[in-house]
Chain A
């Protein structure tokens, strides 16, 4: 089955700096890559996603890049703010009738004021 590796497990940045979280996946058939944000004690919520026919996608301060050849995708957050502090999970899926997400282990991002 699919295996998703995520790095780093913890990341601490100063407010206003950029943060980058990286993930690799094992199944070359995977074609959908979402990122979820989970604040302490809350439910995971989708913040951005990318499909395999696109190399990069942006939404205000967040962006995701995908390298299908290397089976690698990354989350970039610019101009970080304290409210960005949370655990971020990457995930991968093949889609289709058996659509399910395989998650990475998560990255705890701390933005220091």
Chain B
């Protein structure tokens, strides 16, 4: 079974530039999450989708971050404009059910903002 795919793996940009990350979850997984992991910290949830609907985006900085999952499969996370403090690994995860269970993470997209 293929795992969660993410791209790009690494991205370096100047502050105020924009960047987009892509995630393809495991086939059949209804729920998709974007987590932000700053160096030395635990993953922090940014947004949660169930199929193509947003379940929770309470911690998403909506003035600069946006995310979509138009067809209920793959998803994109965009940052515009980027700030220095956005430097982090952006982890995508998916799970089959909507109630509980293991989150399957991708390898992550490491963003460096200069």
Interface residues of A (CB under 8 A from B): 1, 4, 6, 32, 34, 42-46, 49, 51, 89, 91, 93, 95-106
Interface residues of B (CB under 8 A from A): 4, 31, 33, 40-45, 48, 50, 55-56, 58, 91, 95, 97-103, 105-108
Do B42 and A106 touch (CB < 8 A)? yes
Return A83 CB to nearest CB of chain B, in Å: 19
Q: What total count of A-B pairs have CB within 8 Å?
A: 62
Do B99 and A100 touch (CB < 8 A)? no
Do B41 and A43 touch (CB < 8 A)? no
Q: Which residues of B contact A102 (CB under 8 A)?
A: 45
Do A89 and B102 touch (CB < 8 A)? no
Q: Which residues of A contact B41 (CB under 8 A)?
A: 105-106
Do A42 and B43 touch (CB < 8 A)? no
Do B44 and A103 touch (CB < 8 A)? yes
Return A94 CB to nearest CB of chain B, in Å: 9
Once A43-B91, A99-B31 are accepted as A-B contacts, the answer to whether A104 and B42 lie under 8 Å apart by CB is yes
Q: Which residues of B contact A46 (CB under 8 A)?
A: 102-103
CA–CA, A99 and B100, complex, Å: 6
Closest 7 CB pairs of A and B: A103-B42, A43-B105, A95-B100, A46-B102, A105-B42, A103-B43, A32-B100
Other-chain residue from A1, A101, A106 in contact with B103 (beta carbon distance below 8 A): A101
Closest Cβ neighbor of A32 among chain B residues: B100
Do B45 and A100 touch (CB < 8 A)? yes
Q: Which residues of B contact A32 (CB under 8 A)?
A: 100
Q: Which residues of A contact B55 (CB under 8 A)?
A: 97-98, 100
Q: Which residues of B contact A45 (CB under 8 A)?
A: 105
Do B99 and A44 touch (CB < 8 A)? no
CA–CA, A93 and B55, complex, Å: 15
Q: Which residues of B contact A34 (CB under 8 A)?
A: 102-103
Return B32 CB to nearest CB of chain A, in Å: 11
Q: Which residues of B contact A96 (CB under 8 A)?
A: 99
A34-B103, A51-B100, A99-B31 given. 6 additional CB < 8 A pairs? A42-B107, A95-B100, A97-B99, A98-B55, A101-B103, A106-B41
